[in-house]
Structure 1
Amino acid sequence: MAMPLGFLLLALVLLIALTNSNDAVTIPPNYDTVFLNRSSFPAGFIFGTASSSYQYEGAAKGGGKGPSIWDTYTHKYPGLSDQVIS
């Protein structure tokens, strides 16, 4: 009798946990940019962008491409961290 009672109790706890997990309140992200303007940044702040072919190209041996300079460099110096390369 102890086995079915324990199983029933476990099933009940599991059922309660699963039914209440969807009740979590999620706050939608706020992407309102009304308060973001030039004065939000220090004087002399310069906006900029950058990209890296090492990050975008990838697949050195795929699509008929050969290894790039960065492929050779990273294999020659494997101890470099991602922060140095990117």
Structure 2
Amino acid sequence: MTIQKRLLEAVEQKLLRPIDAQFALTVAGNDDPAVTLAAALLSHDAGEGHVCLPLSRLTLTEEAHPLLVAWISETATPIGLEKTVTGVCGG
């Protein structure tokens, strides 16, 4: 499943707003799904009034983020999302 479809699924499930998905695709494109996901989460948090996206919130648990855990499991990337996002964000 492509990152675009995953973002649309998240919008349908009210996990993201449509503008979050559009922002992520516009800013990050399709090159790296982890970067696109981080952009969507950043947009979502900004929409809720937060001024930053704490990387500690990207810790994925089945209970807190079942859809995201399923996405990561499907792609079976050897590098965890936290490592990828931290590397991209320079953290």
TM range (shorter): under 0.3
Q: Which is bigger in relative contact order (C-alpha 8 A, separation at least 6)?
A: 2
How high is the TM-score relative to the length of structure 1? 0.19
Please tell me whether Structure 1 or Structure 2 has the larger radius of gyration of its CA atoms.
Answer: 1
The structure that is helix-richer by fraction is 2
How high is the TM-score relative to the length of structure 2? 0.18
